[in-house]
Chain A
Amino acid sequence: MNRCTERLYNGLVKENPTFVLMLGMCPTLAVTTSATNGVGMGLSTTVVLVLSNMLISMLRKIIPDSVRMPAFIVVVASFVTIVQFLLEGFVPSLYDALGLYIPLIVVNCIILGRAESYASKNPVLPSIFDGIGMGLGFTVGLTCIGIVRELIGAGQIFGKQIIPIADEAAGKAGYVPVTIFILAPGAFLVLAGLVALQNKIKANAAKRGKEVVEAKGCGEGCASCNGCGGKVFPTGNEE
C-alpha cells in the first residue's frame, strides 16, 4: 500500500474518527437526526478538512511553532466561512437543518487534530489524502448513525418512507415510529450500539487470525500521540 491509499484506509477504518477515535462527538450527536443531515455535515467537514490540511501542509515551514494554533484556526475558519456561504447559497434546506453546527466546524477537533498531528509535519499530497480519508470516515460514521436513527425514529431513509407509518385516525396498521431515536437520547443509544457492533466485528476478525486493525499508541498520525510525528528517538540519544 502506498502512502496515499494507506491514509485513506487509516481514516475510513483503522482510525475512523467517529467509531474509533471518538472525535467530533458534538456534531455527531446533534445533527444526525436524518441520513441527509449526516451526509451533509460529513461532506461539509470533509471539504474543510481537505482544504485546511492542504494549506497547512503547504505553510508548515512558514508557520512559527509558537503561534501555530492561532494560524491553524485562521486557516480553518476561512474555509468554514466559504463552505457556510456556499451551503447558504446552493442548499438552503441543508443550511437550515444544520444551523449553528456549520460555524462550529471551526472548532471540530478532527480538523484541528489532523492539522496538528499530520498536516503540519507531512508533505502536501499525503496530507490531502489524510484529509479525504478522515473526512470520508467521519461522513460514513455520521451517515450510519443518521440512517439508523431515521429508520427507527421515522421509518424513513434519506427522507424516503421505507416502512409505512401507522395512522390511527385512518385505521391503517403499520409501523409506529420510536420518536426517542430522533431526539437527543437516541443519538447516544445508536452511537453506543454501532461502536459496540464494530468492536465486536473487529474482535471476531482478530480471533480468526486476520489482520488486527486497531489504533496503536504511537502511529504517525494518531490523535492520542499528540505530536511526536512518528519520530522515534534511538535509545541513549534522547534530548
Chain B
Amino acid sequence: MSENNYKLSSSPHIRDKVTSSNIMLMVVIALLPASAFGVYNFGIPALIVLISTTVSAVLTEYIYEKLMHKKITINDWSAVVTGLLLGLNMPASAPWWMGALGSVFAILVVKQLFGGLGQNFMNPALGARCFLLISFAGPMTKFVYDGVSGPTPLATLKDGGSVDSMKMLIGTIPGTIGETSVIAIIIGAVFLIMLGIIDLRIPGTYIVSFVIFVGIFGPFTKAHVGFFDPQYITAHLCGGGLMLGAWFMATDYVTSPITKKGQYVYGILLGVLTGLFRLFGGSAEGVSYAIIISNLLVPLIERVTLPKPFGKGGEK
C-alpha cells in the first residue's frame, strides 16, 4: 500500500488501471494481423502507405499541440490508431503523400480543431478517408492486385458477376490494404473482445441488420439472387470494408453511443445504411459513409435513449 490509491476527491473513488492509452495500444495490437496481411498481400507499397499515414498522424498531432501550447498527447497511441486505420482504408497503389495529406486532415481538422481525443464528432480516419475519396476519386478507387488493376469483388457483385467467397475470406483479392482478409480482422476482433475492450453489441447488431437488409432487398437489385441467398450474403459480408468497419471503426468509443439501447439503434442504423448504399447507391461500397453519417446522429440517439435514473419518471 505504498502507492497512494486513496485520492481525496469527489467520486468515483475506485479507479481502474485501464487508461485510454492502454486501450489504444491494444487496438493497435489488434490491428497488426490485418496490417501484416495487407503488407503480405500487396507488398512494399502497402507498407509505405501504412508508415506514411501513421507517422504523419503522430507528427501532425505533435506539431499542432506544440504550436498551440497544449499538452502533448502523442503517447496515448490514439494518433497511431487513427493513422493506421486510415492506412488500412487506402488502396496500396495510392502515393505516400496522399496518405500523409489524409492523416493531416484526420488529426488537424476532424480531431484537434474539435478539441482533441474524446471531442471529435466523427471517426477521424473515416472522415479523412471520405475526404480523400472525394478529392482523388481516381487513385482512391484504383485497386491493383498482382500487378493487374481490377474491380473489387463487391464491384463485380454489383455488376452481376460471381465471386469466390473462399478467396474473400482469406483475403487474396483486390481492395484496400486492411479490408481484404476477413480472417485477419476477426483475429484482431476476438483479441479485443477477450480483453473486454469492445463488445458484441454494435458489431453484432450492425452485421445482423445488414444481413437481414441484404437478404430481403438483394433480390430487388439482381434477378438471379434469391431471398436470403447464402452465397450472395456471404460475398457481401466478406467483401469490402464491412468487417474492418464493424469491428474497428463503428466501435470507436468517442463516436458511438454509450447507452445500451443507443448502441442497438446505432448498429441497426449502420446495417441499414450500409445495405442501402451498397445495393441502391452509385458506388459498390458504402461502409465509410454509413459510419460517418451514423457518427453524426450519435448525439441524437443518445438523447433519445438516455436511461431514466431509478425513481424518476414514474406516473405523472
B109 & A179 in contact (Cβ 8 Å cutoff): no
Nearest Cβ on chain B to A165's Cβ, whole angstroms = 13
Residues of A within 8 A of B11 (CB): none
Query: Residue among B101, B131, B139 with the most chain A CB within 10 A?
Result: B131
A185 & B109 in contact (Cβ 8 Å cutoff): no
Nearest Cβ on chain A to B234's Cβ, whole angstroms = 35
Whether a CB of chain B sits under 8 angstroms from the CB of A4 is: no
Residue ID in chain B nearest A185 by CB atoms: B134
B136 & A183 in contact (Cβ 8 Å cutoff): no
Whether a CB of chain A sits under 8 angstroms from the CB of B216 is: no
Contact with B along A172-215 (1 / 0, CB 8 A): 00001011110101000100000000000000000000000000
Query: Residue among B109, B134, B137, B139 with the most chain A CB within 10 A?
Result: B134
Interface size on A, residues (CB 8 A): 8
Residues of A within 8 A of B131 (CB): 180, 185
Contact with A along B63-81 (1 / 0, CB 8 A): 0000000000000000000
Query: Residue among B131, B135, B136 with the most chain A CB within 10 A?
Result: B135
- DSSP majority for the B interface? helix
B109 & A183 in contact (Cβ 8 Å cutoff): no
B109 & A180 in contact (Cβ 8 Å cutoff): no
Nearest Cβ on chain A to B288's Cβ, whole angstroms = 15
Docked pose: A189 CA to B110 CA in angstroms: 11
A176 & B134 in contact (Cβ 8 Å cutoff): no
Complex interface residues of chain B between 99 and 133 (CB less than 8 A to chain A): 101, 109, 131
Nearest Cβ on chain B to A179's Cβ, whole angstroms = 5
Residues of B within 8 A of A176 (CB): 136, 139
Docked pose: A176 CA to B136 CA in angstroms: 8
Contact with A along B132-151 (1 / 0, CB 8 A): 00111101000000000000
Nearest Cβ on chain A to B102's Cβ, whole angstroms = 11
A178 & B135 in contact (Cβ 8 Å cutoff): yes
Nearest Cβ on chain A to B125's Cβ, whole angstroms = 17
Residues of A within 8 A of B136 (CB): 176, 178-179
Docked pose: A185 CA to B133 CA in angstroms: 13
Partner of A189, one of B101, B109, B137, B139: B109
Residues of B within 8 A of A189 (CB): 109
Nearest Cβ on chain A to B64's Cβ, whole angstroms = 14
Nearest Cβ on chain A to B246's Cβ, whole angstroms = 26
Residues of A within 8 A of B135 (CB): 178-181
Nearest Cβ on chain A to B7's Cβ, whole angstroms = 38
Nearest Cβ on chain A to B141's Cβ, whole angstroms = 13
Docked pose: A49 CA to B285 CA in angstroms: 48
Residues of B within 8 A of A179 (CB): 134-137
Residue ID in chain A nearest B138 by CB atoms: A168
Residues of A within 8 A of B109 (CB): 189
Docked pose: A178 CA to B131 CA in angstroms: 9
Complex interface residues of chain A between 56 and 80 (CB less than 8 A to chain B): none
Nearest Cβ on chain B to A200's Cβ, whole angstroms = 12
Nearest Cβ on chain B to A167's Cβ, whole angstroms = 12
Residues of A within 8 A of B134 (CB): 179-180, 183, 185
Contact with B along A137-179 (1 / 0, CB 8 A): 0000000000000000000000000000000000000001011
Nearest Cβ on chain A to B45's Cβ, whole angstroms = 16
Docked pose: A198 CA to B139 CA in angstroms: 35
Residues of B within 8 A of A181 (CB): 135
Nearest Cβ on chain A to B96's Cβ, whole angstroms = 13
Docked pose: A151 CA to B137 CA in angstroms: 19
Docked pose: A94 CA to B91 CA in angstroms: 39
Nearest Cβ on chain A to B17's Cβ, whole angstroms = 40
Nearest Cβ on chain B to A25's Cβ, whole angstroms = 20
Docked pose: A80 CA to B298 CA in angstroms: 44
Docked pose: A179 CA to B130 CA in angstroms: 12
Docked pose: A181 CA to B131 CA in angstroms: 10
Q: 10 tightest CB-CB pairs across the interface, nearest first?
A: A180-B135, A178-B135, A180-B134, A179-B135, A180-B131, A183-B134, A176-B136, A179-B134, A185-B134, A179-B136
Q: Pick 5 A–B contacts, CB within 8 A, sort by A.
A: A179-B134, A179-B135, A179-B136, A180-B131, A180-B134
The interface of chain A, by Cβ under 8 A from chain B, is 176, 178-181, 183, 185, 189
| 8 more CB-based (< 8 A) A-B contacts, given A179-B136, A179-B137 | A176-B136, A176-B139, A179-B135, A180-B131, A180-B134, A180-B135, A183-B134, A189-B109
